[in-house]
Amino acid sequence: MRSIHPNRPTEDEVSAALDAEIEFHLEECVRELVEAGLSPEKAEREAKQRFGDARRYRRGLERMHRGTVSRLNNRGWALAHGAWLDLRYGLRSLVQHKTFTIAAVLSLSLGIGANATIFSLVNSLLIRPLAVHDPGTLVSVFTSVTGGQDYGNTSYLDYLDYKERNEAFTGLAAYAFAPMALGGTEQARVMLGQLVSWDYFEVIGVTPRLGRGFLPEEDEGFGGPTVVVLSHTTWQEQFSSDEDIVGSTVRINDHPFTVVGVGPEGFTGLNAGVGAAAWAPLSTLEQALPYTPNTESRVDPWLQLVGRVKPGIGVGEARAGLQVTAQVMAVEYPESNGNKSLVVEELDRTRLGIPSASEDARRLSTVLMGVVLLVLMIACFNVANLQVAKATARRREIAIRHSLGASRWRIARHLLAESVLLSLLAAAVGLLLALWASDALQLLLPRSEVPVELNIAFDGRVLGFTLLLALLATVVFGLAPALQVLRRNQLDSLKDSVGASQGSGKIGLQHSLVVAQVALSLVLLSSAGLFVSSLSNTIALDPGFELRNGIVAPFNLGYGQYTEEEGRELQRRLLEQTTTLPGVRSATLAAFVPLGQIHGHHDIWIEGYEPAPDELMLVKRNMVSAGYFETMGITVLQGRAIDDRDREDTERVAMINETMARRYWPDRDPIGRTLSADLGVPRSVIGVIEDGKYASLRESPESYLVIPLSQSEYLERVNLVVRTVGDARPVIPVALSTTRQLAPGLPQSAAMTIPEYLDYSLGALKGSAVLLSAFGLLALVLATVGFYGVMSYAVSRRTREFGVRIALGATRRSILRAVLRRGFVTTLIGTVVGVALALATTRLLAGILYDVNALDPTVFSLVLAILFATGQLACYLPARAASKADPVAAFRSE
Amino acid sequence: MGTDEGRLLQGTLDVLVLKALMAGPRHGYAVSTWIRDKTGGALDIEDGALYTALHRLEKRQLLAAEWGISDTNRKVKVYQLTDAGQRQLEKRSRIWNEYADAVSRVLESG
């Protein structure tokens, strides 16, 4: 025997002790009376009668102890202690009702897990502050070009001038994303690194964990010392957290680089979505960049800028100051800078790149968060329904405790404690699910040439959000039963016998919860349906080329050390050898592939065309080898295609698309006309091709220029495009082994089949559609399970009634139909409410839908069909059980 | 219930409870069955009153209570006599017997 309350118990302890003592007494009494042959009901009545007026006695006992209980000299402690007692009670009750607990936790944790997953994503993309010192005084600086990009990058020479001339910043650093083939000893892997000005780490206030950042002398001119700072993740994953790594050599694009530092944990650069794996000084661009920007021109924008505003200067002042600098430079360099101005944005607004990217992400996040909250609500309604069913079973227990004098407040507190525990349990399971699911989220990212991983971290914010949700969920499903106790006269319920009439109010409540679930499911399913149909509309768009059985394989000689001469020769041989491979119909090389992530732009001049004062003479362009149009399946409408005749030493030629032809030669034949692109070399137009989609499937037609690869500047990175005879998949390894033979040192090319490539061009669209559909399905499953539960409960309560009806001549078929009809009506009401809700929420969706009416009849009829089908399915088993009710048993138990 | 009658009954109940615990520690329900068995149900004592008595005696330190685990694995409060309780029982029994003797003598006389 152990003493559980030493000297001065609290009021709660006294109450709990009285409860325990009296409950034990009554149970023992009832047990012995039942053993003596009484029915449980009679035994209970007898036991209570023997006890006398329990409430009065209990009040007397409490009064008696009032003198001895510890006074609340420490109120907080007393409250905490009381809460602890309540929780202990709750835990016991959860263990006692195992089935209920498991069902409720399962339902809730799915809802909470979905929320935690999406929130961890939203947190990483939009909320979590960037890991830099005092982000509030950091700004991003963009170059805006009149008639061109509003938030463009900056050229190297402009950057040097801005840095030198501005007075608003204590520092202005530049950086550029750079795919790098990074390797220690083993095969190099392509990762996304960054080239940065030497003061990058200083300006943003990031101190490396090991070693140092860059020194000014490491960033003087070009061809400086090849040094690198690794990110914490790279250091951990690729160099197994080697503490002595500083000073050792790694290879970037096959060039030796000395590691001078390792970034701090949690810092992956200034982009919240895409992290950098390593940083090298701008001066190493020839080694570290697999392409070569023009550092001597003001028209090749490739740098992103970040500035630290001087203390006491606002962002507005900094903006005004830079504006003046830009104007001065526009006067000094009218040719290149006449149409440029500077845009200054707080760093946090550019955490996903240009500000509109954050807005797009925010819009999608709002939709996704809304969706998962609705899923959670459906889950909560499930638990509420379970609670209602359990409440009936527990009614007796509660009534006894109440009649023994436990105050309503105490009982309500116990019920609430039980709910809180339940949601905490569900939150824990939900977080585990979310940990797993956020890994799975990475799979929804489109494959890309340079592997990109989202930085999803479970920080305190995610934890806090999850707990908050769990508590909110408690309010939704836990408060109602607790309040019911506070309101109802539980003494009455003891007198009730279990009959059909008693449960009817509750069953009404349960049906309204199901109505809500059906309605919410409809909203979710229809959103998913609309999104999927929007996606399939997008997929159905003509990309402007016919190639489907084929391969795109980037071939980037920048990841190794090759001269232009070697490079051109390798590219020529690659094309030659690929063409002869089995299964290959034709092959070609192209600088860019339509719908890819990178595009070239060109300033153009057109003979005989007078541009308007502010007209931007800039077009997208591509450089291709012979056979490109045939391989891609792009129709040449007029003139001829680029072929083997177009060599370095022949006449310079160009091809244009329909839109470009119409724009610059509206009523003349463009063939034979002269234009010039890039270095001002005149070219004559030899052909016109059909319009295509270049950056995204949803874009409207734009001008496009194609020139022969042989007549353009040397490109280290080209795409090998292959048209295969049949299935492209088996051809990939063969093509890759060709590239490996030709250039053994290069990291493996991220080759894709054309369908994979088209998928990847859809970007986040496909992932979002998968997510929305998954949540829609989850909602449907939760709602269906809930519906099934309510129907079987309702039927089980009315078994006797059905038995009587059958005895009175009702056919089993008619009973079956009656139950199904009841389910149908519930579904019907749910769908009506759901359609109304969907109408109210479509505005949120309209922004992310493409070519789909937010009330698309196909989607809605499909969703309605699904809901009615699953609704009837959920009712079928209970209905069959009802129709099997035993008429004899019905009378026997009367 | 009149006050005198109440006081008399209360005194009686206290003695019965103390007596019930003389043989050793018991929980409240066991005390109740003991009294019911011994009196053959002649004294209609409500269980609530019994608990009031148990708690009152515990408060006056005539009983000591401890929590233990029952055969059915439930937490149960078990009472036992203290030394003071023992003395009180003896004193009360003596008084009760003297009182009962006196009353019977009066009733038999005459």
Nearest to A25 among B47, B55, B75 (CB): B47
Report whether pLDDT(A132) > 80: yes
How many whole angstroms separate alpha carbon A589 and alpha carbon A628? 7
CA distance B27 to chain A (A): 9
What number is the average pLDDT over the span B48-55? 90
CA distance B98 to chain A (A): 31
Nearest to A51 among B47, B69, B70 (CB): B47
pLDDT of A416-447, one tens digit each? 888 889 999 999 999 999 999 988 888 887 77
Comparing A60-64, A102-106, A631-635, A663-667, the range with the smallest average pLDDT is A60-64
Q: Give the side-chain half-sphere CA count within 13 A for A619.
A: 25
What integer pLDDT is reported at residue A488 of this predicted model? 55
Of A642, A630, A635, the closest CA to residue A711 belongs to A642
Coil, strand or helix at B94: helix
**Residues of chain A above pLDDT 90, percent:** 38
CA distance A65 to chain B (A): 8
- Asked if A351 contacts A271 with a C-beta cutoff of 8 angstroms, the reply is yes
Q: Which residues of A touch B (CB under 8 A)?
A: 1-5, 17, 20-22, 24-25, 27-29, 32, 50-54, 56-58, 60-61, 64-65, 68
Report whether pLDDT(A3) > 50: no
- Residue A810: partners with Cβ closer than 8 Å, 6 or more residues away: none
What are the φ and ψ backbone dihedral angles of A552, each rounded to 5 degrees?
-120, 125
How many whole angstroms separate alpha carbon B2 and alpha carbon A874? 65
CB contact under 8 A, B68 and A1: yes
Nearest to A52 among B49, B59, B66 (CB): B49
What are the φ and ψ backbone dihedral angles of B22, each rounded to 5 degrees?
-65, -35
pLDDT of B6-33, one tens digit each? 455 667 788 889 989 988 888 999 999 8
Nearest to A24 among B29, B52, B66 (CB): B29
A764-797 helix and A504-539 helix, angle to the nearest 10 degrees: 160
CB contact under 8 A, A21 and B32: no
How many whole angstroms separate alpha carbon A146 and alpha carbon A612? 13
How many whole angstroms separate alpha carbon A104 and alpha carbon A388? 12
How many whole angstroms separate alpha carbon A582 and alpha carbon B14? 106
What integer pLDDT is reported at residue A669 of this predicted model? 92
Q: Write the single-letter amino acid at A264.
A: P
What integer pLDDT is reported at residue A119 of this predicted model? 94
What integer pLDDT is reported at residue A487 of this predicted model? 63
Q: Write the single-letter amino acid at A441.
A: L
DSSP, res B43: S
pLDDT of A261-289, one tens digit each? 999 998 989 998 888 999 999 999 888 88
Q: Which residues of A touch B32 (CB under 8 A)?
A: 25, 29
How many whole angstroms separate alpha carbon A863 and alpha carbon A847? 21
Name the E strands within A253-329: 255-262, 278-281, 304-309
Q: A281 is written with which tokens?
A: 């000084």
Q: Which residues of B touch A53 (CB under 8 A)?
A: 46, 48
What number is the average pLDDT over the span A284-311? 86
Q: Where are the alpha helices (DSSP H) in A9-155?
A: 11-35, 40-51, 54-66, 75-96, 98-122
Which residues, in sequence order, are bridge partners of residue A252?
A182, A255
What number is the average pLDDT over the span A181-206? 88
Which residues, in sequence order, are bridge partners of residue A140?
A306, A345
How many whole angstroms separate alpha carbon A184 and alpha carbon A358? 36
Q: Which residues of A touch B29 (CB under 8 A)?
A: 24-25, 28-29
Nearest to A24 among B49, B66, B74 (CB): B74
How many whole angstroms separate alpha carbon A757 and alpha carbon A447? 8
Backbone torsion region of residue A592, taken as left when φ is above 0, otherwise alpha when ψ lies between -120 and 50, otherwise beta: beta
Q: Which residues of B touch A2 (CB under 8 A)?
A: 67-68
What integer pLDDT is reported at residue A443 of this predicted model? 81
- Asked if A758 contacts A627 with a C-beta cutoff of 8 angstroms, the reply is no
Coil, strand or helix at A815: helix
Radius of gyration of chain A (CA): 36
How many whole angstroms separate alpha carbon A184 and alpha carbon A235? 11
Q: A718 is written with which tokens?
A: 């080209």
What number is the average pLDDT over the span A30-41? 87
CA distance B99 to chain A (A): 30
Residue B6, H or E segment: helix B3-20
CB contact under 8 A, B32 and A25: yes
- Out of A173-177, A364-368, A736-740, give the one with best mean pLDDT: A173-177
More confident residue, A188 or A751: A751
- Asked if A201 contacts A208 with a C-beta cutoff of 8 angstroms, the reply is yes
What integer pLDDT is reported at residue A68 of this predicted model? 61
- Asked if A215 contacts A203 with a C-beta cutoff of 8 angstroms, the reply is no
Cα–Cα distances (Å) from A598 to A450, A592, A594, B86, in that order, read 12, 7, 9, 97
- Asked if A705 contacts A677 with a C-beta cutoff of 8 angstroms, the reply is yes
Report whether pLDDT(A392) > 90: no
Q: Write the single-letter amino acid at A161.
A: D
Q: What ipTM was estimated for this complex?
A: 0.88
pLDDT of A590-611, one tens digit each? 999 998 877 777 788 888 888 8
Nearest to B75 among A20, A58, A60 (CB): A20
Q: Where are the alpha helices (DSSP H) in A540-670?
A: 564-579, 628-632, 658-664
Q: Which residues of A touch B49 (CB under 8 A)?
A: 52, 57
Cα–Cα distances (Å) from A752 to A198, A580, A688, A729, A755, in that order, read 37, 20, 29, 8, 8
What integer pLDDT is reported at residue A685 of this predicted model? 95
DSSP, res A71: P
CA closest to A404 among chain B residues: B48
Backbone torsion region of residue A271, taken as left when φ is above 0, otherwise alpha when ψ lies between -120 and 50, otherwise beta: beta
Instruction: Kindly provide the b/e burial profile for residues A137-148, where b requires at least 16 CB atoms within 10 angstroms of the residue's own CB.
Output: bbbbbbbebeee
Q: Which residues of B touch A59 (CB under 8 A)?
A: none
CA distance B76 to chain A (A): 6
Confidence of residue A507 (pLDDT cuts 50, 70, 90): low
How many whole angstroms separate alpha carbon B89 and alpha carbon A647? 124
Report whether pLDDT(A499) > 50: no
pTM (predicted TM-score): 0.76
Q: A531 is written with which tokens?
A: 């999104």
Report whether pLDDT(A207) > 90: yes
Cα–Cα distances (Å) from A256 to A214, A230, A239, A607, in that order, read 17, 14, 16, 48
CA distance A404 to chain B (A): 10
What integer pLDDT is reported at residue A492 of this predicted model? 47
Nearest to A50 among B47, B55, B75 (CB): B47
CB contact under 8 A, A20 and B77: yes
Q: Which residues of A touch B55 (CB under 8 A)?
A: 61, 64-65
What number is the average pLDDT over the span B53-78? 86
CB-count burial class (<10 Å; 0-12, 13-18, 19+) for B85 = buried
Residues in chain A: 894
Q: Which residue has the tokens 């998928």?
A: A759
Q: Which residues of A touch B75 (CB under 8 A)?
A: 4, 20, 24
CA closest to A57 among chain B residues: B48
What integer pLDDT is reported at residue A6 of this predicted model? 47
Comparing A500-504, A726-730, A863-867, the range with the smallest average pLDDT is A500-504
Q: Angle A882-A510-A779 (CA atoms, 0-180°, nearest 5)? A: 100
What are the φ and ψ backbone dihedral angles of A181, each rounded to 5 degrees?
-90, 105
Nearest to B46 among A1, A3, A50 (CB): A50
Report whether pLDDT(A755) > 60: yes
Q: Which residues of B touch A405 (CB under 8 A)?
A: none
Q: Write the single-letter amino acid at A541.
A: L
Cα–Cα distances (Å) from A68 to A14, A407, A518, in that order, read 10, 20, 55
CA closest to B75 among chain A residues: A20
Size of interface A-B (CB pairs under 8 A): 72
CB contact under 8 A, A28 and B69: no
CB atoms within 10 A of CB B63: 23
How many whole angstroms separate alpha carbon B54 and alpha carbon A17? 14
CB atoms within 10 A of CB A579: 15
Confidence of residue A500 (pLDDT cuts 50, 70, 90): very low
Mean of pLDDT over chain A: 85
Q: A244 is written with which tokens?
A: 């002595």
CB contact under 8 A, B51 and A52: no
DSSP, res B73: S
Query: Which of A8, A21, A31, A68 is the best mutation test for B, with the most CBs of B within 10 A?
Result: A21
What number is the average pLDDT over the span A338-365? 88
What are the φ and ψ backbone dihedral angles of B6, each rounded to 5 degrees?
-60, -50
CA distance A474 to chain B (A): 30
Confidence of residue A894 (pLDDT cuts 50, 70, 90): very low
Say if strands A717-724 and A584-590 run parallel, antiparallel, or are unpaired.
antiparallel
